[in-house]
Structures are given as C-alpha cells and as structure tokens.
Amino acid sequence: MIGTIHELPLPKIVIPPCSQGVGFAFKNKNVQETQDIIPGDANGDGKVSISDIVYLITYIFKGGAEPFPPCKANVNGDNKVSVGDVVYLINYLFKGGPPLNNGCS
C-alpha cells in the first residue's frame, strides 16, 4: 500500500516570480479603494441620496451597520461620524448646502 504512493505522478506547480504577483495585487487594491470612496455614500450603492441619510440615522441611533469605510460618512469633515453629518447631508441634498467633504482624504 505505502509503495504505491511513490508511483503517483506529481503535479507540476508553476509559481510566478514574487515581484509580478505582488505588484499586480497591489495595483488592483488601489483601484478598488479609489472607486469605492464616494463622500456621503454611506450605504455604498455608488450614489448620494436620501437612502444614505436613512442609513446614517440607522447607524447612529439604532446600531445599524457601519458605513465602510466609516470616513466617507464624515461629510462635514470634523473627523467623526455623528448627527452633524446627517444634518450636513440633508442640507446638501435638499437645501443646496455646501459640497460634501471627503472625510477619507
């Protein structure tokens, strides 16, 4: 029984050079992060709308899911996610308020 193991053909595994693999993964990661961060897009659906206000209220007051990354919900730029960002977002969307700050920059 043990002798038959040595007769099995070994699969050929080709490992690419480390520099190629690491560089490729790193580049993709950067593109992903750049595309995902839209200031005010708390629910991550790719646009800023009333849904993000609802999402933020649920997060802040009802223990809902945290925006990812949290910094993109910091639209008033005070380095924290709070009811102030909800008010800022409402002003921006419905009252022509100042543009949203990029809390992640």
Site for Ca ion contains 66 (CB under 5 A): no
C-alpha span between 40 and 88 (Å, rounded): 10
- Rounded to a whole number of angstroms, the minimum distance from the CB of residue 31 to Ca ion is 20
Residues across the chain = 105
Q: Which stretch binds Ca ion (CB under 5 A): 18-26, 44-52, 61-69, 89-97?
A: 44-52
C-alpha span between 17 and 5 (Å, rounded): 30
Q: Total residues at the site for Ca ion (CB under 5 A)?
A: 8
For Ca ion, the binding residues (CB under 5 A) are: 41, 43, 45, 52, 74, 76, 78, 85
